[in-house]
């Protein structure tokens, strides 16, 4: 069995500068749920690693956060997909925690919980901090242009060698051997 790590907001679901604060606001990016189901069928364990500072900011509570994930999982089931774990940082940017991306703490939590190494594991994100966290943990970062991906790419700070794809579905095409999609950089 293989492992892949996905950021949530901007990779699986639409993102907002005002945060995703409720199940109603949690809207999947077209093709993302199908892509996760394809990963599952290709023998991938799919886990989510996500910063959720909206909790620390009081914008939503843990129950609401769990309700968003229940919606995500229920929608995924319709495609035959599943998420094998959700790892999240509930802290704000000034809390000096070890789990908030760009630090590698969430990735370390994943390696403690799952009986598989993280070295060279694909990690898909839409922000520079996603890419930095994956690199620090020894995973293989991929940038998608959904969510904040365009802004991340245009900022010009993306490390050399990080492949860039239109969306999660395009990453999955390459990972499972469908060669019609290739990185755009």
Residues carrying an active site annotation? 7, 9
- Between the alpha carbon of residue 36 and those of residues 41, 96, 178, the distances in Å are 9, 32, 15
**SS3 track for 15-56:** CCCCCCCCCCCCCECCCHHHHHHHHHHCCEEEEEEEECHHHH
Distance separating alpha carbons of residues 184 and 92, to the nearest angstrom: 33
Q: Where are the alpha helices (DSSP H) in 16-164?
A: 32-41, 53-56, 62-77, 105-113, 128-137, 149-154
DSSP 159: P
* E strand or H helix that includes residue 5: strand 2-6
DSSP character at residue 108: H
């Amino acid at each position: 069995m293989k492992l892949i790590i996905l950021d949530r907001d901007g990779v699986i679901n639409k993102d907002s500068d005002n945060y995703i604060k409720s199940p109603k606001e949690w809207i999947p990016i077209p093709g993302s749920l199908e892509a996760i189901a394809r990963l599952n069928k290709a023998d991938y364990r799919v886990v989510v690693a996500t910063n959720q500072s909206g909790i620390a900011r009081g914008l939503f509570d843990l129950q609401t956060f769990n309700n968003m994930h229940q919606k995500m999982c229920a929608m995924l089931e319709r495609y035959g997909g599943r998420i094998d774990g959700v790892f999240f940082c509930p802290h704000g940017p000034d809390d000096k925690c070890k789990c908030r991306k760009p630090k590698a703490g969430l990735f370390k939590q994943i390696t403690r919980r799952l009986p598989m190494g993280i070295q060279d594991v694909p990690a898909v994100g839409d922000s520079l901090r996603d890419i930095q966290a994956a690199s620090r943990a020894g995973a293989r970062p991929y940038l998608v242009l959904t969510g904040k991906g365009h802004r991340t790419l245009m900022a010009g700070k993306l490390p050399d060698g990080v492949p860039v794809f239109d969306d999660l579905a395009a990453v999955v095409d390459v990972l499972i051997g469908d060669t019609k999609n290739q990185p755009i950089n």
